Structure formats: C-alpha cells, structure tokens
C-alpha cells in the first residue's frame, strides 16, 4: 500500500510511523508530501495512520510506486529542457558509441548528434565485460571527455554505472544515469541512484522477468528518486543466431501496467548491425518514449560491440525514416 501523509508531519514522526508499520518512506521532491510504502500484502490503512493520511493506494504485488494503479498517467521526466512522458508525445533518440575510446572518436559522435538534431549522447566509460582479458573502458578519463562534449556542444549525456565502486563519479558527471543489465540487481547502485538528483535509466537484466525488473525500479523510487525510465534491451533465450531476443511483448506489458517511460535499445538486443534499422523502426512504431541506438564513426575498429554499431551514414538514413514512423503513430521524434 502507498500512503500519502499530511505534508506538515515532521520527519522524526514519519520515521516512527514507518517503523511501526514496517514501511519505507520518502518525501516527494515535487510537492514535499511524505509517502509511506508498506508491504504489498497490507490491504487496509493501518489504524495509527488514519488521521494522518491524505490518500492511499492498494496494490496487488510488489509493483507499487511504478504501477498504473498508483498513477494512471506515464510519469513526465525532464532532462534539462527536454521532457518525455506525461502529456507530450516525444520519442527521444539517443545515440553514440558503445565506449568512449578517444577524444577524436567521441567528438565525431557528438558532431553526428549536432548535424541531425539529436539531443542526447551516449557512451560507456566503465564496461561490464564478461572477461577480465578484454577492454574495460576509459574510466574517469572517459567521463571527463563526455563532460567536454556537453560543454562544447550543449548535448545531454547518458553513461553507465557498472558497480558501486564508481557510482558517485558517474552520477556527478552524467545527465542520465544508466544502470546496466548486469547491474540491475545491485542494491548498492540502486540505493545510490535512489538518492541521486538525476533521472535514472534502468536496463532490464537479460535473465530478468518483467516482475523483477519493475521491482528493481521500486528500490530507486522508494528511496525518493521519482524519475526512473525503463529500458528493454533483449532477453536471453534458446535462440542464439541473434545475441538476445528483443522482448516487445514485454514492452506492451510495461506500457499497460507501469507508469514509467520506456526507452528501447534494439542495438544490444540483436547484436548485429544488419537488423538494427528494422528493429528501431519497429520500436518507434510501438509509441514509446525513446530509443537508444549505438553508432560509431568506424565500427570496424570499435573496441567493444563492433558488430552491432551503425556507422554514421547508416544512422543518418535510419533517422530520416524514424521520423516518418513516429509521425505515423502520432508521435514526435526529438
């Protein structure tokens, strides 16, 4: 159950109410309302809260703050002057390379964004590789290069946190914090992101059910950060001709039952560039809030994910067709 309390109850009192009802709590950043979240098994307003409650919402699983039973409309999330979700019809395109590799490379990516009107640049600095014997990312030097791109070109930045050891650095340098598929269960990261003052893009683990995915978002939401975006990026199935299986059925479920904006990542789903354009158009036709598409000035020499990145020419062609598809489903590509 989610319970909105009277605004003027002091924090110390809320703390003891939370303890008494075994709840987590936070103050909404938008309107300062104290919000208690009990176990989802609680179906009746606890006696001691009756006098102190503005409104309460019964939920039927541990999908609570993220549920459309709590909030009917999709949450609006602002990244500076950019907005997705809420009443707008924006579909936000994000592009850039898998990893920051050099100033020259990331500058070329930034200039591609500028040339097309793309507003958010993506690139990883801490790569969650499966082998210790491959490139692990540029780390803090990469973050500084991304910061330079922001300052030089006015782009917004999204980059990934891999483990708790550098979560504060990533939060301080980026505009959107990306939690990668392999880190989705990391309580240390989820809690740090719950305290952060920036939007979080949470990627679905490739072995993660929709229920668990949404529950992971609850760790962030219930720690007080109301700006969570969900990202489907492919799940692991028996089919191995493609790297993962893009779960668009799951996307319709998330759209139907959660109040969180959705950004889709077709590049990681397929893992091969021949299919990225068709899957990107399919994604745009789903009427979702955004798209994450990997591009590289020269994919052949990319230090990670070489097979799946589009070159700039391919992306330019794709971008033109995405605009048409978005319009066909009554949305605006930004």
Annotate 6-33 with DSSP letters as a single string.
Answer: PTTS-HHHHHHHHHHTT-EEEE-TTT--
283 is a site residue for its own copies (CB under 8 A): yes
Q: How far is the CB of 204 from its own copies (least distance, A)?
A: 10
Minimum Å distance from CB 55 to its own copies? 19
Q: Is 232 helix (H, G, I), strand (E, B) or coil?
A: strand
Task: Kindly write out the interface string for residues 22-41 of this chain, putting x where it contacts its own copies by CB under 8 A and - elsewhere.
Answer: --x------------xxxx-
Least Cα distance to 200 among 180, 186, 213 occurs for 180
Smallest distance from its own copies to CB 231, Å: 16
Between residues 1 and 110, which has the closer beta carbon with respect to its own copies?
1
Query: What's the CA gap between 165 and 299, in Å, rounded?
Result: 30
Name the one range near its own copies by CB under 8 A: 4-12, 92-100, 216-224, 292-300: 216-224
- Residue 168 CB, nearest distance to its own copies (Å)? 12
Q: How many residues bind its own copies (CB under 8 A)?
A: 79
For the segment 248-277, give every residue that binds its own copies (CB under 8 A).
Answer: 248-253, 255-256, 269-270, 274-275
Residue of 217, 128, 144 lying closest to 181 (CA atoms): 128
Nearest to its own copies of 87, 274 (CB atom): 274
Site string for its own copies, 175-214 (x = CB under 8 A): -------xx-xxxxx---------------xxxxxxxx--
Pairing of strands 156-161, 120-122: parallel
- Which of 173, 219, 315, 319 touches its own copies by CB under 8 A? 219
Q: Which stretch binds its own copies (CB under 8 A): 50-58, 77-85, 92-100, 322-330?
A: 322-330
Judged by CB under 8 A, the residue of 25, 26, 70, 246 near its own copies is 246
In the bound state with its own copies, the residue whose beta carbon lies nearer, of 28 and 237, is 237
Residues of span 93-152 touching its own copies by CB under 8 A: 128, 130-134
| 3-state secondary structure (DSSP) of residue 2 | strand
Q: Could you identify the residue written with the tokens 């990681």? A: 268
Terminal CA-to-CA distance of the chain, rounded, Å?
37
Options 49-57, 108-116, 246-254, 306-314: segment touching its own copies (CB under 8 A): 246-254
Residue from the set 154, 298, 321, 332 that interacts with its own copies by CB under 8 A: 321
Stretch that binds its own copies, among 43-51, 81-89, 97-105, 217-225 (CB under 8 A): 217-225
Residue 149 neighbours by CB under 8 Å, 6+ apart = 106, 107, 109, 110, 121, 155, 157
What is the C-alpha separation between 92 and 332, in angstroms, rounded? 8
The single residue listed with the structure tokens 């591609």 is: 112
- Pick between residue 156 and residue 255 the one whose CB is nearest to its own copies: 255
Name which position in 45, 282, 306, 307 contacts its own copies (CB under 8 A): 282
- Of the pair 102, 209, the CB lying nearest its own copies is at 209
CA–CA dist 66, 25 (Å, integer):
15
Q: Name the residue nearer to its own copies (CB basis): 175 or 232.
A: 232
| Contacts of its own copies in 60-99 (CB under 8 A) | 62, 64
Helix axes 312-328, 276-285, angle to 10 degrees: 20
The residue count for the chain: 334
- From residue 77, how far is each of 49, 59, 105, 198, 247 by CA, in Å? 31, 23, 30, 10, 24
Contact 35/25 with Cβ under 8 angstroms?
yes
């Amino acid at each position: 159950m989610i319970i909105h309390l009277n605004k003027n109850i002091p924090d110390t009192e809320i703390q003891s109410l939370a303890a008494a009802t075994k709840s987590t709590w936070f103050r909404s950043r938008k309107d300062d309302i104290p919000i208690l979240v009990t176990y989802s098994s609680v179906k009746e307003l606890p006696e001691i809260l009756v006098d102190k409650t503005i409104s309460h919402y019964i939920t039927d699983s541990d999908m609570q703050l993220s549920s459309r039973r709590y909030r009917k409309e999709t949450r609006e999330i602002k990244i500076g002057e950019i907005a997705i979700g809420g009443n707008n019809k924006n579909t936000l395109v994000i592009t850039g390379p898998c990893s920051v590799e050099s100033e020259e490379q990331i500058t070329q990516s930034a200039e591609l964004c500028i040339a097309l009107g793309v507003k958010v640049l993506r690139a990883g600095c801490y790569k969650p590789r499966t082998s210790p014997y491959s490139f692990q990312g540029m780390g803090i030097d990469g973050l500084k290069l991304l910061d330079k791109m922001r300052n030089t070109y006015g782009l917004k930045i999204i980059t990934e946190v891999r483990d708790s050891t550098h979560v504060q650095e990533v939060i301080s340098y980026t505009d959107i914090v990306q939690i990668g598929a392999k880190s989705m269960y990391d309580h240390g990261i989820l809690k740090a992101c719950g305290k952060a003052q920036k939007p979080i893009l949470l990627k679905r683990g490739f072995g993660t059910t929709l229920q668990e995915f949404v529950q992971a978002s609850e760790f962030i939401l219930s720690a007080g950060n109301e700006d969570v975006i969900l990202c489907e990026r492919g799940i692991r199935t028996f089919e191995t001709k493609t790297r993962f299986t893009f779960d668009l059925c799951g996307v319709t479920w998330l759209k139907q039952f959660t109040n969180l904006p959705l950004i889709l990542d077709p590049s990681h789903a397929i893992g091969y560039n021949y299919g990225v354009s068709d899957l990107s158009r399919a994604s745009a036709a789903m009427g979702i809030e955004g798209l994450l598409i990997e591009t590289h000035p020269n994919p052949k020499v990319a230090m990670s994910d070489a097979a799946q990145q589009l070159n700039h020419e391919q992306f330019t062609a794709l971008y033109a067709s995405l605009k048409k598809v978005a319009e066909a489903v009554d949305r605006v590509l930004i």
